Amino acid sequence: MDLKTLEDTPPWEWPKDTDKMLLDILRKGRIDAADRMLAVQLAGESTVVNDDLARALLVVAQNDKEDDEVRAAALIALGPALEQADMLGFDEEDDIVISEELFRMLQTSLQKLYMNPDLPKDIRRAVLEAAVRAPLQWQYEAVRAAYAGSDNDWRLTAVFCMGYLDGFSAQIMEALGSDDPDIHYHAVCAAGNWDVDAAWPHIASLVRSQETEKELRIAAIGALGSIRPEASSAILNELIDSEDEDIVEAVFEALAMSGGLAEFEDDEFEDDEENF
């Protein structure tokens, strides 16, 4: 199976030797740039990532002879494995995607990489965005500095990172008023992740408005159910009959997370009984 076929195939349907194929591509010095980028992105999938692939991604990220975009993509690809290792630990074999030894090594390596002031900006931003998936204390000061600066790209990275690091409610509220659509989007996500109650009116208005850009509205739907689970049900139920399947799917997911789906299903069940 070639890379393009892999890209178009659900990861859970990939062949068993996919990890070896991707590892071989990552270790090759010369390969088509588009293929190398795609291999890096696919290597982070939870169905294939392992110690060997994670190490290979780190090597790509550290190699200053690599294309900057490929290096940044390699760092981002490490994020999900770091997050899973941090959340689930290493006690249950079925939960382990990378070893604890490699997990600790990656954390140390990313911190060291970030502390290099000569690292290109976009790669350094990617380091921080990957590292916060497994929070450590040094990242808090890095995020504060990134948000306080005047560089809009760094502020975007900071707000993204606030979705993984707690204690930034004031900055999240400020970012909700940003004119930058990407910063605004990640502020909505962060508000939902940390149940920032003060964000409720703003996010509720985004959910209700037909003018809200679709991706932002879906993020707002998820955040709404997290911030005020009970109060969100009435608003979310208004969208159940939307003609947009993605919106409806997001609503059902939010209701399920907030506990409102059971109530909705009970109402449907009662209606069916009456009709019967």
Q: What is the pLDDT of residue 95?
A: 82
**Stated pTM of the model:** 0.90
CA–CA distance, 166 with 172 (Å, rounded to integer)? 10
**Average of per-residue pLDDT across 225-238:** 90
Position 147 in a domain: no
Percent of the chain with pLDDT over 70: 93
Percent of the chain with pLDDT over 90: 80
Residue 23's domain spans which residues?
1-134
Position 223 in a domain: no
Nearest to 138 by CA among 165, 159, 105: 165
Local confidence band at 272 (pLDDT 50, 70, 90 cut-offs) = very low
State pLDDT tens for residues 181-204: 999 999 999 999 999 999 999 999
**Average of per-residue pLDDT across 35-45:** 93
pLDDT of 226 higher than 70:
yes
Position 160 in a domain: no
Structure tokens at 12: 């859970």
The number of distinct structural domains making up the chain is: 1
Local confidence band at 276 (pLDDT 50, 70, 90 cut-offs) = very low
Position 247 in a domain: no
CA–CA distance, 124 with 112 (Å, rounded to integer)? 11
CA–CA distance, 134 with 32 (Å, rounded to integer)? 32
Q: What is the pLDDT of residue 80?
A: 95
